Amino acid sequence: MKEVLFKLDLIAPVIGLLAAIFYFVIRKNPYSPSDRIVVLFLSTELILNTLAASFQQYEKSNLWIYHLNCVVVHILFSWYFLKLLLRQRIVAVGFIVFSLSVIILELKIQTFDSFPSYIYSISSFIVALYALCFLNQIIDTLPAYHILSVKEFWVIAGVLTYFGSSFFIFISYSYLSFVSPKKVFVLWQFHNIFLFFGCIVFIKAFNCTKWILK
C-alpha cells in the first residue's frame, strides 16, 4: 500500500492523460483552453516526477527537478488565470511576489540542493488564491444552476483540491523534516493523495462541453 501511495504522483497524471485521450480523441469532445492547461499540467507532472524517480533510483540528486516543477507549474496556472480573471492585476502582483520569493529563497535559504518547500507553499497559496478569486467571479456572473455545467468550475475545484491542500502540506514540510524526518514521508503520501483527487476532479472537467474562456 505504501508503495502505491509513493507512486501516486506518477499514477495520477497517467490516469488523467488517459482520460484526456478517451474524451478528446475517442469521444471527440470539444477541446478548450482549460483542457489544454490541465493536459500541460498533467504532462509536466508525469515527465518531471518520472525524471525525479529515475534520478533517485540511480542515487543522483533530484532536488533541482522539484525546483523546476514548481516554477513551470506556477507559470502555467498564472497564464491560465491571467486569461480568466477580470482583475488581471491580481495575477500580475501574485507573479511578482512568487518571482521575488523564488530568487530570494533559492539564493539564501532553499538552494538547489534542498527541497523547495517554502517556494511550493508560496506558489500553492497564490494559485489557490487565484482560484478563489475566479470562483467568486463566476458566482457573481453566472446563475447557480449553470455553474456546475461549466468546465472552468471543475478546473477550479481541481486546483483548490490539490493546491489548497498542498499549501498546508508544504508549509509544515521543513519543520517536520527537522523534527521528525520519518513523518516527512507520510506527509508526501498525503501530497500524492491530494494530487490524485485533484486529477479525478480535472477528469470531470474533460467531460464538460461548456466553457467560458475563448
Confidence (pLDDT) at 14: 97
Bridge partners of residue 210, in order along the sequence = 150
73: closest CA among 103, 38, 105, 104? 38
- In degrees rounded to 5, what are phi and psi of residue 150? -95, 135
The model's pTM: 0.93
Distance of CA 87 to the CA centre of its chain: 22
pLDDT-derived band at 186 (thresholds 50, 70, 90) equals: confident
b/e map 83-113, b = 16+ CB within 10 Å: ebbeeeebbeebbeebeebbeebbeeebeee
In terms of Cβ atoms closer than 10 Å to its own Cβ (0-12, 13-18, 19+), residue 43 is middle
What radius of gyration do the chain's Cα atoms show? Answer: 17
Q: Which residue has the higher pLDDT, 36 or 143?
A: 36
Domain assignment present for 137: yes
Mean pLDDT of the chain: 90
Kindly state whether residue 32 falls inside one of the protein's structural domains: yes
Domain count of the chain? 1
List C-alpha distances in Å: 182 to 33, 114, 173. Answer: 41, 17, 11
pLDDT digits (tens, 9 = 90+) for 46-61: 999 999 999 988 888 8
More confident residue, 172 or 196: 196
Q: Residue 145 above 60 pLDDT? A: no
- The alpha helices in 33-180, defined as continuous H runs, are 33-57, 63-84, 88-108, 117-141, 144-147, 151-159, 165-171, 173-179
49 inside domain:
yes
The model's confidence at residue 214, banded by pLDDT at 50, 70 and 90, is low
Q: Is 212 domain-assigned?
A: no
Residue numbers of the domain that contains 114:
2-206
Mean pLDDT of 101-107: 91
Q: Is residue 214 part of a domain?
A: no
Per residue in 117-139, pLDDT (tens digit) is: 999 999 999 999 999 999 999 88
Note the pLDDT of residue 2.
65
Instruction: Specify the amino acid at residue 11.
Output: I
Single-letter residue type at 58: Y
Q: Is the pLDDT of residue 179 over 80?
A: no
**pLDDT at residue 144 above 70?**
no
Q: Which helix (H) or strand (E) holds 193?
A: helix 181-206
Query: CA angle, corner 129, sides to 10 and 64, nearest 5?
Result: 40
Within 10 Å of residue 176's Cβ, how many Cβ atoms?
17
pLDDT of amino acid 56: 86
Q: Kindly state the average pLDDT of the residues 151-156.
A: 94
Domain assignment present for residue 213? The answer is: no
In a domain, 193, yes or no: yes
The model's pLDDT over 41-98, given as tens digits with 9 standing for 90+, comes to 999 999 999 999 999 888 888 999 999 999 999 999 999 999 999 889 999 999 999 9
pLDDT for the residue 108: 82
User: Could you tell me if 169 and 190 are in contact, meaning their C-beta atoms sit under 8 angstroms apart?
Assistant: yes
